[in-house]
Structure 1
Amino acid sequence: MATVILLRHGRSTANGSGVLAGRTPNVGLDDTGREQAGALCQRLKDVPLAEAVVSPLLRCKQTVAPLVADRGLVRAIDPRLSEVDYGEWTGRELKTLVKEPLWRVVQAHPSAAVFPGGEGLAGMQARAVAAVREHDARITAAHGEEAVWLLCSHGDVLKALLADALGQHLDSFQRIVVDPASISVVRYTETRPFVLRMNDHGPDFAGIVPPKPKRGRKKASSDAEVGGTTGQSSTARGNLR
């Protein structure tokens, strides 16, 4: 299967404001976020990208815009990758939300959390996982198993995708950190995903690109390397033999 780069949008005007923006319309990138978006072209310069699939919210569209323009990428919008629908919590200050009984549920038992007038975190994870696997299968069929594609979404959505890829229960997803403009990388296979990077702010992602298959080579295995990989060249194969 293909390799997916999970990109969180750059810093937005709402990040750090103390307000839960959620799906509030027209929340765009701040100055730092725009710099982060521009830097993606250089950070991913050694990574050939097949497509980009993006949340419909403005901050995600703005984040990928320079890269899409630079590469001439096909960009698809998928509502299943949108931010959590926080319902009545949208636009409220975090300092007041922490006093709500639901706050402790969100922190300690998120799989049971359903936002009033909105959606549950379990439902969010289900829609996001369905989307990433569907797009991965589609892009693999169109571009081959060595394809790399970009998915741009939001913090909680990406944390839920990583929890699924790691085989963790959703109740553990609050242990995962996904910063603005950070990159995580997952390679899906027939039987399991391999997590190659998490919350990475580095400039070099050449190592995530799978090598071209050798002539006569059998289809890549989903088996993990017993005893661990042997370094970047093995990591670049995504732990596949």
Structure 2
Amino acid sequence: MATLILVRHGRSTANTSGVLAGWTPGVLLDERGAEQAAALPERLARVPLVAAVTSPLERCRQTLQPLLDARPELEPVSDERIGECDYGDWSGRKLAELADEALMEVVQQHPTAAAFPGGESMRAMQARAVDAVRDWNARIDAQYGEHAAYVMCSHGDIIKSIVADALGMHLDLFQRIHVEPCSITAIRYTRTRPFLLRLGDTGNFASLVPPERGEAETGGDSGAAVVGGGAGAP
């Protein structure tokens, strides 16, 4: 079956301002995010891609555009099923203030029980994303054969939920996974099982440097995951 190349969108203005963007319109890449996107064609230069699928949100379409410019044979297809989690009333709010919400502990520790007010549940988010991957794998196999590779540009929580499914990991454990902006995650699907080939690969090891005291990034003393994916290494 197909090899799926998952790309998280580049760093966005919401990431740097600590806002949970969700489906809020007008959230674009910041300057660094644009640089990350511009480097994507070279990073994937040796991978023969047969298709490009993207979340309909602007930051994902912006991220994919340099790759599409370099490979005019690819016709991008938008798929709402890999759009960001619908955070409902939480969308557009600061992550720092959301940390005090009772629901945040559920999101961190028991995601299968988490449903965002006015939005969707995390179970529904994973189900639609995994359904999209299964559907696209079948399409790619039928059209290009079982050894083809395709790219899918999406969001942090979406990619984490797809990885959890590929690893046979319960969704309640998916907050242990972290993918940085414009990172590449690769999954090779076979008839009997998937293989995780890359996870959150940016080629930049700055994120491995221990955080300064008081920083709220993933891996700090609190052990909390950054909902929505975070801004990545400084």
TM-score (norm 2): 0.85
Structure 1 residue 201: Cα displacement? 1.1
**Gapped regions of structure 1 (runs ≥ 5):** 204-241
**Gapped regions of structure 2 (runs ≥ 5):** 205-234
Aligned to 1:148: 149
> Is 1:51 matched with 2:51?
yes
Quick one: distance in 2 between partners of 1:162 and 1:21? 22
Query: Amino acid of the residue matched to residue 4 of structure 2?
Result: V
CA contact (8 A) 1:3 1:147 kept: yes
Structure 1 residue 16: Cα displacement? 2.5
Structure 1 residue 145: Cα displacement? 1.2
Partner of 1:50, secondary structure, is strand
Partner of 1:84, secondary structure, is coil
Quick one: distance in 2 between partners of 1:41 and 1:123? 32
Counterparts of 1:121-200 in structure 2 under 5 Å? 121-200=122-201
Structure 1 residue 163: Cα displacement? 0.4
Count residues in correspondence.
Answer: 203
Bigger radius of gyration among the two: 1
Cα distance per residue 1:131-150 (max 9 Å; x no partner): 01100110111011111100
Structure 1 residue 14: Cα displacement? 0.8
Cα distance per residue 1:119-172 (max 9 Å; x no partner): 000000000000011001101110111111001000000000000001100000
Aligned to 1:110: 111
Aligned to 1:236: none
Counterparts of 1:68-107 in structure 2 under 5 Å? 68-72=68-72, 73-107=74-108
Quick one: distance in 1 between partners of 2:8 and 2:201? 11
Partner of 1:35, secondary structure, is helix
Aligned to 2:36: 36
Partner of 2:108, secondary structure, is helix
Query: Amino acid of the residue matched to residue 69 of structure 2?
Result: A
Quick one: distance in 1 between partners of 2:54 and 2:168? 24
Query: Amino acid of the residue matched to residue 123 of structure 2?
Result: A
Structure 1 residue 202: Cα displacement? 2.8
RMSD: 1.0
How many percent of aligned residue pairs carry the same amino acid? 60
Quick one: distance in 2 between partners of 1:18 and 1:139? 37
Partner of 1:64, secondary structure, is helix
CA contact (8 A) 1:9 1:153 kept: yes
Structure 1 residue 188: Cα displacement? 1.1
CA contact (8 A) 1:43 1:202 kept: no
Quick one: distance in 2 between partners of 1:71 and 1:113? 40
Runs of 4+, deviation exceeding 2 Å: none
Partner of 2:17, secondary structure, is coil
